[in-house]
Amino acid sequence: MWCKVGDKMAEDTQMLKGILEGCILKIIKENETYGYEICEKLINSGFKDVGEGSVYPILIRLEKKKLIFSKIMDSPFGPKRKYYYLTEQGKEALNDFTILWDEIKNKVDNILK
């Protein structure tokens, strides 16, 4: 129950968007990937309620911020598919996110102990 309430709360906050952006940057850094795969990885990591619905607009935003770039290639299903890669700016942003996340996590952990 608490998990559900927590998920619901997080869903509505800007914080989740920020966290998702960081996680997506990390997923893209590991390998060239595309929207559906990113979404699958997020779901498999525990972000159960994250559908393409929230991931796709984030990818557009990250591309506009020039944190990622894309190449359009053929998809095995027929249409064109965008594969994403991290830019230098994206690598820096991921680094900043990791540091910030560690700080927040430590602070919250200290309070919750």
The 3-state DSSP class for residue 8 equals helix
17 binds another protein (CB under 8 A): no
Task: Determine the Cα–Cα distance for residues 64 and 57; give it in Å rounded to an integer.
Answer: 11
56 binds another protein (CB under 8 A): yes
Nearer Cβ to another protein (17/101)? 17
Q: What element of type H or E holds 83?
A: strand 80-86
Question: DSSP assignment, residue 112?
Answer: H
Give the per-residue contact string, 76-95, with another protein (x = CB under 8 A; - = no): -xxxxxx-------------
List the one residue from 31, 75, 89, 98 that touches another protein (CB under 8 A). Answer: 75
46 binds another protein (CB under 8 A): no
CB-based burial, 20-29: b 16+ in 10 Å, e otherwise: bbbbbbebbe
The 3-state DSSP class for residue 51 equals coil
2 binds another protein (CB under 8 A): no
Q: Which residues bind another protein (CB under 8 A)?
A: 34-36, 51-54, 56-57, 60-61, 63-64, 69-72, 75, 77-82
